[in-house]
C-alpha cells in the first residue's frame, strides 16, 4: 500500500463549482447520475493536467463531456480512479455509476442500516458513490435529487433546503434538495427511509427561526427528547459564548443503528449513531445522557469549526476536531459540573492518548503521513488536539481566545485551511508570537516536566526549577522544547493559596493561581514574600498534556487531596497517592494501607458538602490501565490483584461509613427533582455499592439484587447487574437472563448486556465472550456490537484479555481477520491492543507479537489493518 505524505500536498488541478446528483434507489442496486461543472484551477499552467477523479468499486455506466459521450479510448479506469487526459478549461462532465449499497458492509459511502439508506462520507466515502474530486479543498454547491419507492422510503433527505418533489411511475416519488453552501464532498449526506420525526425549533439571537428535526425509526421516537434539548442548548451556548448562530433554516439529525463512528456533522443533515441520540431513563444511563449532550453539541459546533471553515487536506484533521472537541468540552462544562468533566477528560486522555503517544502508532497532532486516513481519527488528533486548543486558551484567556477565533472564522469563512492558519489568527488577534507553540502540532510524544524546588526561609524566596523533556517517538529521535503553560498555586500550612509575586514584579497576583510559561528546556521561577515553605500545586486543571514529576511526599499528597483549592488537583493528588501505594504493592508485595490514606478516604466518604459526583471520582482508584502505564514492564496480574485487594481492604475498614453513605444517597436521590443532582447521587451511590460488593457477603449481595430488582432507571440497574456478574454469585445468571429477556428488542441495551459480560473479571470471561460471539444478540457486522463485546474485552478488561495462556490474543486476532473482510475500519480499531506488545513480559509479549505476525501474513489484508499491524511490528 502507498503512503501519503503531508509535504506532497498540491492544490487541485480542477475545481467543481456545482454538482447535480440524481439517486435512483432500488433494493438491489442504486444508479447515480452526477453532473459536474468543472473548471481548471491551474489556468496559468500552459500544460493542462489530466482530469483525475477518485472512485472505488463503482460500475461505470456512462460518461459524457459537454454532452458528448466518451468512449473507452477517451479515458482510463483503474481500481481507485478515472482519468481523462484532456478536458476544456471549463466543462460539464456527466457520469453514471451503479453501486450496491445493500452489499456495503464497510459502512462507507452509501449503505443500508436496517430498512433505511444512509451515507458516511468522511473521510473518503464519497468516492464510493460517484467519481469525484474527493478531497476537502474542492468545495462545490450540491443539488441532490433522490428517487425511491414511496412506501418503503417516504422520507428522502439530503443537505440544505428541500426545493421540489414529485411522483414517478411505479409507485415511486422523488425529492430535490439544494444546499446553498459550497462544501467538500465529505460533508455530503443522504438518507432514505420510513422515519418518524421529532420537530421543534430554535429562535436565534438575531430572531431567525431554525426548524429542528430529529429522525428515527418509529419505535424510537420517544427517546429523542433529551437530544432535542441538547441541540437547543448547544445553539444557545454558541451564540452566547462565541456569537455564532446557526446559518440554516433547517437542521436535521438522523439516528442510525449501524455506524462506524459516533456521529457525523454533514451540513444541515447530521447522521448519528443511535447511541448518541436515543435515551430514556429506563434504557440509558446517566453517562449516556452526558455523552449525548457532548456529541450533539460537538456535531453542531462543527457547523462553524469544520463546515464553514474546513480543511485543506486530511493531515489538518485536528484543525476541526481538536477545536471542536475543545468547544464541546467548554459547552458540557458550562452545562454541568466543570471539575467532574475535566477529571473525566483527563482520565480519557491518559487512558487512550498517552499510551498511543508512547507506542508504535505515536504521531503528531498534525500527522506527517498515512496509509489509510481512517486510522488517524485518533486520541491524539481528537484529545491531544483539544488539549492544544486549551493551551491557547490558557495562554490568551477567554477574551483573547474569542478574538482569535473570531478572526480565524472571519478571515477564512468558506475556505479550506490549515492548522497554521488557525495559529496565525490566534497570534495576530492577540499580538503575540506563537511560533514555538506551533511545535505542538508537529512533535509527537508526551512531554515530561521534572520539577524541583528550594525555599530560603530568611529571604522568603521560593524557587521552582522546571525541566522539560519529550521522549523520542518513531521517526522523531530529537525533540525541541515546547511552549507550555503551567498553571500553579502555592499552599501554606493551612491549605490556603498564597498570593504569588515573581521576581521583578511589583504586585502580587492575589487570585492564587497563575500561568507560568515554559519555553526553554530549563526554566526557573522565583517567588517572593513566601512566609513559609509552601506545598506547590502544579499543573492545575491539567493545563498541559504532560507528565509531571515532582517528589511529593505521601503526606503532601494527602494534604493536597484534602485542601487544594483547585478541584482537579485535589482529585489528582488522591490518584497519585493511591497509585503510589498500589504500585508499591505490585513491586514489593502487598502491605497495609497507610493510615493517612485511609483517613483521607474516610473524610471523602463522609463529606456532605462537596458535589457527590466529584466525590465519586475521588473515591475511584486509578484504573488498571492507568497503573499499567506507570510501569516499565506491565504486571497485569499484580496490578489487578493489588487494586482488588485495596478495594476490599477499604471496604472492610470502612463498611459502616459505606453503608451509611449508601443509605444517604438513596434518601437524597429520592428527595430531589433535579435530574443532574439525582445523577450525582446515583454516581456516588454506585461507587459506594462497588466497594460494598467486594465484601462478598450475603447482605451486600442482597443489596445488589434489591437495587437491580427495584431500579426505575438504567444507571442503577446496570451498576447492580455489573457487580452481580462480577461476583461469583449464582444469582448472577438469573439476573443476566432477566435483563436480556426484558431488553432483547432494544439494541442499545443489548450492547450494555454484552459489555457488562465482557468487562467481568471472572476467570471464565474469555470463554463467555467466545460463546457470546455465537449468540443471536451479537452481529459482527454491527460496529456497536463489536465495540461492546470485543472492544470492551480487549481494551477494558486487561486481566482477562492478557491471560497468560495467550488465548485472549488468539481470539482477538481471529476476530480481526474475520472482520477485516467485512469492515476494515472497525477491524483496524480492534487490533490496537495488540500493538502494545512491547510493554509486556516476555511471554505475553511474544504471544502478542506472534498474533500480529499471523495477521500480517494474511493475504488481501485491508490498508486499514495493514497499516496498524505493520507499524506495530516495525
- Residue in the shown chain whose Cβ atom is closest to ligand DPP: 261
Cβ 107 vs Cβ 783: under 8 Å: yes
CB of 298 to Zn ion, least distance (A): 6
Residue 290 sits in the site that holds ligand DPP (CB under 6 A) = no
Piece in contact with ligand DPP (CB under 6 A), picked from 124-132, 262-270, 458-466, 671-679: 262-270
CB of 191 to ligand DPP, least distance (A): 16
CB of 105 to Zn ion, least distance (A): 24
Cα separation, 340 vs 326, whole angstroms: 16
Give 260 or 394: the residue with its C-beta nearer to ligand DPP. 260
CB of 122 to ligand DPP, least distance (A): 5
Cell numbers at residue 685, please? 451511590
Cell numbers 486481566 correspond to 799
Residue 321 sits in the site that holds ligand DPP (CB under 6 A) = yes
**String marking each residue 297-326 x if it binds Zn ion according to CB under 5 A:** ------------------------x--x--
Residue from 122, 290, 299, 372 carrying the catalytic annotation? 299
Backbone angles phi, psi at 263, to 5 degrees: -170, 170
Q: Which of 53, 129, 254, 263 binds ligand DPP (CB under 6 A)?
A: 263
Cell numbers at residue 223, please? 427517546
Give 321 or 803: the residue with its C-beta nearer to Zn ion. 321
Residue 298 sits in the site that holds ligand DPP (CB under 6 A) = yes
Q: Which three-class secondary structure string do you get for 537-606?
A: ECCCCCCCCCEEEECCCHHHHHHHHHHCCCHHHHHHHHHHHHHHHHHHHHHHCCCCCCHHHHHHHHHHHH
CB of 504 to ligand DPP, least distance (A): 45
Piece in contact with ligand DPP (CB under 6 A), picked from 95-103, 138-146, 261-269, 587-595: 261-269
In Å, how far are 186, 593, 595, 610, 656 from 659, measured between CA atoms? 53, 21, 21, 19, 5
Q: Which of 714, 749, 757, 755 is nearest to 286 (CA)?
A: 714
29 secondary structure, DSSP code:
-
Give 310 or 394: the residue with its C-beta nearer to ligand DPP. 310
Cβ 864 vs Cβ 824: under 8 Å: yes
CB of 59 to ligand DPP, least distance (A): 28
**String marking each residue 408-447 x if it binds ligand DPP according to CB under 6 A:** ----------------------------------------
Cβ 525 vs Cβ 583: under 8 Å: no
Give 274 or 576: the residue with its C-beta nearer to Zn ion. 274
Piece in contact with ligand DPP (CB under 6 A), picked from 205-213, 263-271, 574-582, 849-857: 263-271
Q: Where are the alpha helices (DSSP H) in 589-654?
A: 595-606, 612-619, 624-629, 636-653
CB atoms within 10 A of CB 484: 25
In Å, how far are 84, 260, 353, 486 from 347, measured between CA atoms? 51, 24, 10, 19
Give 97 or 324: the residue with its C-beta nearer to Zn ion. 324
Residue 271 sits in the site that holds ligand DPP (CB under 6 A) = no
Cell numbers at residue 181, please? 453552501
| Angle (nearest 5°) at CA 492 between 488 and 496 | 75
Residue 299 sits in the site that holds ligand DPP (CB under 6 A) = yes
Give 295 or 619: the residue with its C-beta nearer to Zn ion. 295
User: With contacts defined by CB under 5 A, how many residues of the chain interact with Zn ion?
Assistant: 2
CB of 107 to ligand DPP, least distance (A): 12
Residue 864 sits in the site that holds ligand DPP (CB under 6 A) = no
Cα separation, 252 vs 264, whole angstroms: 12
In Å, how far are 321, 367, 428, 600 from 408, measured between CA atoms? 15, 22, 10, 47
Give 24 or 290: the residue with its C-beta nearer to ligand DPP. 290
CB of 164 to Zn ion, least distance (A): 32
Cβ 231 vs Cβ 296: under 8 Å: yes
CB of 232 to ligand DPP, least distance (A): 19
> Could you confirm whether 521 is annotated as catalytic?
no
Q: In the window 119-138, what residues touch ligand DPP (CB under 6 A)?
A: 122
Cα separation, 808 vs 795, whole angstroms: 11
3-state secondary structure of 198: strand
Q: Which of 63, 84, 264, 718 binds ligand DPP (CB under 6 A)?
A: 264
CA dihedral 865, 867, 870, 871 (to 10 degrees): -120
Piece in contact with ligand DPP (CB under 6 A), picked from 48-56, 256-264, 417-425, 712-720: 256-264
Give 263 or 766: the residue with its C-beta nearer to Zn ion. 263
Q: Which of 265, 564, 611, 746 binds ligand DPP (CB under 6 A)?
A: 265
Cα separation, 703 vs 715, whole angstroms: 15
To which H or E segment does residue 255 belong? strand 250-256
CB of 734 to ligand DPP, least distance (A): 39
Residue 108 sits in the site that holds ligand DPP (CB under 6 A) = no
User: With contacts defined by CB under 6 A, how many residues of the chain interact with ligand DPP?
Assistant: 9
By a kind-dependent CB cut-off of 5 to 8 A, residue 261 interacts, out of Zn ion, ligand DPP, none, with ligand DPP
Q: Give rounded-to-5 percent helix, strand, coil for the chain.
A: 45, 20, 30
**What b/e string do you get for 29-62 counting C-beta neighbours within 10 Å, with b at 16 or more?**
ebbbbbbbbbebbeeeeeebeebbbbbbebebee
**String marking each residue 323-352 x if it binds Zn ion according to CB under 5 A:** -x----------------------------
| Angle (nearest 5°) at CA 489 between 543 and 471 | 40
DSSP string, 729-764: -THHHHHHHHHHHHHTT-HHHHHHHHHHHHT--STT
By a kind-dependent CB cut-off of 5 to 8 A, residue 264 interacts, out of Zn ion, ligand DPP, none, with ligand DPP
Cis link prior to 123 (omega < 30° from 0)?
A: yes
Give 193 or 783: the residue with its C-beta nearer to ligand DPP. 783
CB of 317 to ligand DPP, least distance (A): 8
Residue 202 sits in the site that holds ligand DPP (CB under 6 A) = no
Please state at what angle helix 655-671 crosses helix 595-606, rounded to 10 degrees.
20
Q: Which of 32, 155, 227, 261 binds ligand DPP (CB under 6 A)?
A: 261
Give 328 or 624: the residue with its C-beta nearer to ligand DPP. 328
Cβ 365 vs Cβ 384: under 8 Å: yes
Question: Which residues of this chain interact with ligand DPP, rule CB under 6 A?
Answer: 122, 261-265, 298-299, 321
Which residues are catalytic, by number? 299
| Residues at the contact surface with Zn ion, assessed by CB under 5 A | 321, 324
Amino acid at each position: 500500500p502507498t503512503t501519503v505524505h503531508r509535504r506532497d500536498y498540491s492544490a487541485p488541478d480542477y475545481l467543481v463549482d456545482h454538482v447535480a446528483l440524481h439517486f435512483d434507489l432500488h433494493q438491489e442496486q442504486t444508479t447515480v447520475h452526477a453532473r459536474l461543472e468543472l473548471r481548471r484551477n491551474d489556468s496559468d499552467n500552459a500544460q493542462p493536467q489530466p482530469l483525475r477523479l477518485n472512485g472505488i468499486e463503482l460500475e461505470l455506466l456512462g460518461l459524457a463531456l459537454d454532452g458528448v459521450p466518451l468512449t473507452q479510448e477517451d479515458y482510463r479506469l483503474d481500481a481507485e480512479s478515472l482519468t481523462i487526459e484532456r478536458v476544456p478549461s471549463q466543462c460539464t462532465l456527466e457520469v453514471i455509476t451503479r453501486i450496491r449499497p445493500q452489499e456495503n458492509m464497510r459502512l462507507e459511502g452509501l449503505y443500508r442500516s436496517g430498512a433505511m439508506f444512509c451515507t458516511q462520507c468522511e473521510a473518503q466515502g464519497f468516492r464510493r458513490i460517484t467519481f469525484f474530486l474527493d478531497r476537502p479543498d474542492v468545495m462545490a454547491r450540491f443539488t441532490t435529487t433522490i428517487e425511491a419507492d414511496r412506501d418503503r422510503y417516504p422520507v428522502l433527505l439530503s443537505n440544505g433546503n428541500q426545493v421540489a418533489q414529485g411522483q414517478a411511475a411505479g409507485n415511486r416519488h422523488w425529492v430535490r434538495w439544494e444546499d446553498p453552501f459550497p462544501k467538500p464532498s465529505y460533508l455530503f449526506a443522504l438518507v432514505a427511509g420510513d422515519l418518524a420525526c421529532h420537530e421543534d425549533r430554535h429562535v436565534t439571537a438575531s430572531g431567525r427561526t431554525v426548524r429542528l428535526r430529529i429522525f428515527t425509526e418509529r419505535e424510537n421516537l420517544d427517546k429523542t427528547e433529551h437530544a432535542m434539548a441538547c441541540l437547543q442548548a448547544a445553539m444557545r451556548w454558541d451564540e452566547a459564548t462565541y456569537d455564532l448562530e446557526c446559518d440554516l433554516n433547517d437542521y436535521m439529525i438522523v439516528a442510525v443503528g449501524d455506524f462506524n463512528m459516533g456521529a457525523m456533522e454533514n451540513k444541515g443533515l447530521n447522521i448519528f449513531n443511535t447511541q448518541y441520540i436515543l435515551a430514556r431513563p429506563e434504557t440509558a444511563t446517566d453517562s449516556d445522557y452526558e455523552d449525548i449532550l457532548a456529541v450533539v453539541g460537538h456535531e453542531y459546533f462543527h457547523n462553524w469549526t469544520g463546515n464553514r471553515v474546513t480543511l485543506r487536506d486530511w493531515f489538518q484533521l485536528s484543525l476541526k476536531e481538536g477545536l471542536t472537541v475543545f468547544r464541546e468540552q467548554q459547552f458540557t462544562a458550562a452545562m454541568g459540573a466543570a471539575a467532574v468533566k475535566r477529571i473525566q477528560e483527563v482520565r480519557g486522555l491518559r487512558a487512550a492518548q498517552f499510551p498511543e503517544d508512547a507506542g508504535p502508532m505515536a504521531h503528531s497532532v498534525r500527522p506527517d503521513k498515512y496509509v489509510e486516513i481512517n486510522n488517524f481519527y485518533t486520541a491524539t488528533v481528537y484529545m491531544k488536539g483539544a488539549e492544544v486548543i486549551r493551551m491557547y486558551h490558557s495562554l490568551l484567556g477567554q477574551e483573547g481566545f474569542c478574538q482569535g477565533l473570531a478572526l480565524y472564522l472571519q478571515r477564512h469563512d468558506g475556505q479550506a485551511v490549515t492548522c497554521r492558519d488557525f495559529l496565525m489568527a490566534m497570534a495576530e488577534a492577540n499580538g503575540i508570537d506563537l511560533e514555538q507553540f506551533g511545535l505542538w502540532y508537529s512533535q509527537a510524544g508526551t512531554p515530561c516536566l521534572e520539577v524541583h524546588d528550594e525555599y530560603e526561609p530568611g529571604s522568603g524566596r521560593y524557587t521552582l526549577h522546571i525541566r522539560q523533556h519529550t521522549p523520542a517517538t518513531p521517526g522523531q529521535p530529537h525533540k525541541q522544547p515546547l511552549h507550555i503553560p503551567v498553571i500553579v498555586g502555592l499552599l501554606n500550612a493551612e491549605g490556603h493559596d498564597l498570593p504569588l509575586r515573581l521576581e521583578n514584579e511589583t504586585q502580587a497576583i492575589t487570585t492564587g493561581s497563575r500561568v507560568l510559561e515554559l519555553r526553554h528546556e530549563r526554566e526557573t521561577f522565583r517567588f517572593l514574600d513566601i512566609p513559609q515553605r509552601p506545598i506547590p500545586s502544579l499543573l492545575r486543571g491539567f493545563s498541559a498534556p504532560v507528565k509531571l514529576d515532582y517528589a511529593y511526599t505521601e503526606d503532601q499528597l494527602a494534604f493536597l487531596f484534602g485542601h487544594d483549592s483547585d478541584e482537579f488537583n485535589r482529585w489528582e493528588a488522591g490518584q497519585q497517592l493511591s497509585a503510589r501505594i498500589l504500585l508499591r504493592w505490585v513491586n514489593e508485595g502487598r502491605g497495609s494501607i497507610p493510615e493517612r490514606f485511609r483517613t483521607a478516604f474516610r473524610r471523602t466518604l463522609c463529606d456532605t458538602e462537596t458535589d457527590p459526583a466529584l466525590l465519586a471520582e475521588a473515591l475511584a482508584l486509578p484504573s488498571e490501565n492507568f497503573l499499567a502505564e506507570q510501569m516499565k514492564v506491565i504486571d497485569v496480574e499484580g496490578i489487578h490483584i493489588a487494586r482488588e485487594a485495596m478495594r476490599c481492604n477499604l471496604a472492610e475498614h470502612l463498611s459502616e461509613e459505606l453503608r451509611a453513605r449508601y443509605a444517604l444517597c438513596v434518601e437524597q436521590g429520592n428527595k430531589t427533582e433535579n435530574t443532574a443532582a439525582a445523577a450525582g447521587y446515583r454516581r456516588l451511590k454506585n461507587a459506594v455499592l462497588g466497594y460494598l460488593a467486594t465484601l462478598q457477603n450475603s447482605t451486600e449481595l442482597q443489596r445488589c439484587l434489591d437495587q437491580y430488582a427495584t431500579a426505575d432507571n438504567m444507571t442503577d440497574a446496570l451498576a447492580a447487574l455489573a457487580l452481580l456478574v462480577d461476583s461469583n454469585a449464582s444469582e448472577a445468571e438469573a439476573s443476566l437472563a432477566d435483563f436480556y429477556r426484558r431488553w432483547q428488542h432494544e439494541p442499545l441495551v443489548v450492547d450494555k448486556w454484552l459489555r457488562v459480560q465482557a468487562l467481568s473479571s471472572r476467570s471464565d470471561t474469555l470463554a463467555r465472550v467466545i460463546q457470546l460471539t455465537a449468540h443471536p444478540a451479537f452481529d459482527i457486522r454491527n460496529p456497536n456490537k463489536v465495540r461492546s463485546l470485543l472492544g470492551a474485552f480487549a481494551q477494558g478488561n486487561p486481566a482477562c484479555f492478557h491471560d497468560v495462556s495467550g488465548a485472549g490474543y488468539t481470539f482477538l486476532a481471529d476476530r480481526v481477520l474475520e472482520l477485516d473482510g467485512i469492515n476494515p475500519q472497525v477491524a483496524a480499531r480492534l487490533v490496537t491492543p495488540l500493538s502494545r506488545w512491547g510493554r509486556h513480559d516476555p511471554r505475553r509479549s511474544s504471544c502478542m507479537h506472534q498474533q500480529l505476525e499471523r495477521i500480517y501474513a494474511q493475504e488481501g489484508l485491508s490498508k486499514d489493518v495493514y497499516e496498524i499491524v505493520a507499524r506495530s511490528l516495525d
